Structure 1
């Protein structure tokens, strides 16, 4: 692949990433309820949580360092996980689907309101992943 083709691919991937949006669901419960629901929804499907990003804690800890006193979240975590079967299927269709792995579902609390959500996936084969993320987010939200 020549440099032009690589540059075009990077530009296309970057513009696609910026076009992504999030799907969210309100939670009728506490942050801890949503976290428990999320963990149960993930592991109940035989999936393993790879990593939990404690994004809210990081932002609170680093706010002063970057010159901000804005409290973005009372609490916020992002759960990263993957499905070996689904990921393999997606990457056999297009190896560049690696860009969407691992999958992530977030939970945050702001001003007493708890939200669960995920980044939308591109059209085409990745809609199968989006369906999985939606099932997990809805279950975590108690829907």
Structure 2
């Protein structure tokens, strides 16, 4: 059987497209597992809890709940405040994420400009917790 260049070229292109699609589905599948684990776990992961305790709970904790929001327990985070749930796992537009990614000058930015800001590493940790690896990069 003789294979011409065109057949070989289309075969290679088809194989590459299939492998690319397969790789993408593996990444999406991994991120879905990460998000599912976050939802099923009643506890805030230790690395995230440290960040929330240091940068958020002075205004959104047990003693004080600005905007009706508490960030000191998973139940409170999922319940949310006046604007709705702070976190929707798998949603890059969750209130917590849009707040920490808003420009510093924005009224939506958290923490307020007068408070210590999150580092890039802390933001990455929260991104990964909410959306999995794909958003953390």
Normalised to the residue count of structure 1, the TM-score between the two structures is 0.30
Tell which structure's C-alpha radius of gyration is larger.
2
Which structure has more relative contact order (CA 8 Å, sep 6+)? It is: 1
